[in-house]
Amino acid sequence: MLTRHAFVWLALLTSLAAVVPSPAQARGIVGEPAPAFTATDTSGQTRQLSDFQGKYVVLEWFNPSCPFTRKHYNSGNMQGLQKEFTARGVVWLSLNANERTNLFYLSPPKLARWTAKQSAAPTATLMDEEGTVGRTYSARVTPHMFIVNPQGTLIYAGGIDSIASSRMEDIPAATNYVRQGLNEALAGKPLTAPVTRPYGCPIKYKSSHDLYPE
């Protein structure tokens, strides 16, 4: 017969088993194959992750209305990364995080104009209005960054840098995890920090709840 103490522990373990996803349900795990996806870019062209097999691919979830996104675009930090690494053969896919009912949603033409006004240089800007790709990768905030290697393995997931603030003044003092990770990967080295804590504006999915709210 179970003691009261044993019963409490059994109930706790049962509840944990109910909420922790099984390996088969897990998505966007560093060291595992990057989940395949298909999305439409702002020009209406269909893009698939598999189109870029054999190349490093950066995935950047962004939201033009988010102060953290604006920090990295108004300073030129994000555009600088895009230009630096696409010049070295890296594919950069920026994914719109706003769904259609969001007050700050931009249609594909408006988002394309915003991207041009920012002098941004991604390989493509993708519309993730349904949140399908974001949910698959467990993208939580904007910006949330991922790196996929040429073999299709996810090798980085996390923040753009080490200082979780919306202040442009903090950028020079921060460790830029994306730059560090890409430089190491392109040099054939393992990443010093393959997983870091993302920071930014919570992504609102169609359920109207944040993904993993804190």
- Give the ranges where the chain is alpha helix by DSSP (H): 4-19, 67-74, 77-86, 108-117, 132-137, 177-186
User: Is 69 within 8 Å of 142 (Cβ atoms)?
Assistant: yes
Higher pLDDT, 78 or 101: 78
Amino acid making up residue 180: Q
Q: How confident is the model at residue 186 (pLDDT cuts 50, 70, 90)?
A: very high
Domains in the chain: ranges and CATH: 27-202 (3.40.30.10)
Average pLDDT, integer, range 34-55: 97
- Residue 212 scores a pLDDT above 60: no
pTM: 0.84
Average pLDDT, integer, range 105-133: 95
- Residue 213 scores a pLDDT above 50: no
**What region does 132 belong to: left with phi over 0, alpha with psi -120 to 50, or beta?**
alpha
Apex CA 175: angle with CA 173 and CA 178, to 5°?
A: 140
pLDDT, tens digit (0-9, with 9 covering 90-100), for 22-41: 333 347 899 999 999 999 99
Alpha-carbon distance of 193 to 208, in angstroms, equals 32
Q: How confident is the model at residue 207 (pLDDT cuts 50, 70, 90)?
A: low
Q: How much of the chain exceeds pLDDT 70, in percent?
A: 84
Average pLDDT, integer, range 44-62: 97
